[in-house]
Amino acid sequence: MAHEVRLEKKKFQNIKSVGSRRVLEDFQLARCEFNGCVLGQFDDPAFGLVVRNVAAERVTVKRSVVQGVRFEDVLVDGLATTSVMHLTGCVFRRVTLRGRIGAVMATPPSFSLSDENQAAFADGIRQFYADVDWALDISEAEFDEADFYYVPGHLVRRDPETQFLIHRDRVAQVDTGKLSVFARIAIERFEVTPFDSIVAVAPRRADYFAEALAGFQELKVMGVAE
pTM higher than the cut 0.75: yes
How confident is the model over 21-60, as pLDDT tens digits?
999 999 999 999 999 999 999 999 999 999 999 999 999 9
pLDDT of 197 = 97
- What is the number of other CB atoms lying within 10 angstroms of the CB of residue 91? 25
pLDDT at 174: 83
The mean pLDDT value of the chain amounts to 96
pLDDT above 50 for 218 = yes
Domain boundaries, the chain: 5-157, 160-226
**Is 201 a residue whose pLDDT tops 80?**
yes
Measured in residues, the chain has a length of: 226
Buried b (16+ CB within 10 A) or exposed e, 53-63: bbbbbbbbbee
pLDDT tens figures, 155-188: 999 999 999 999 999 988 788 788 999 999 999 9
* Percent over 90 (pLDDT), the chain: 95
Q: Which residues is 164 bridged to in the sheet?
A: 200
- In three state form, how does the secondary structure of the chain look? CCCCEEEECCEEECCEEECCCEEEEEEEEECCEEECCEEECCCCCCCCEEEEEEEEEEEEEECCEEECCEEEEEEEEEEEECCCEEEECCEEEEEEEEEEEEEEEEECCCCCCCHHHHHHHHHHHHHHHCCCCCCEEEEEEEEEEEECCCCCHHHEECCCCCEEEEEHHHCCCCCHHHCCHHHHHHHHHHHCCCCCEEEEECCCCCCCHHHHHHHHHHHHHCCCEC
Contact between 137 and 74 (Cβ < 8 Å): no
The 10s digit of each residue's pLDDT in 88-142 is: 999 999 999 999 999 999 999 999 999 999 999 999 999 999 999 999 999 999 9
Q: What is the pLDDT of residue 2?
A: 52
CA dihedral 96, 34, 147, 151 (to 10 degrees): -50
Kindly state the percentage of the chain with pLDDT values over 70: 99
Q: Work out the pLDDT band at 1, boundaries 50, 70, 90.
A: very low
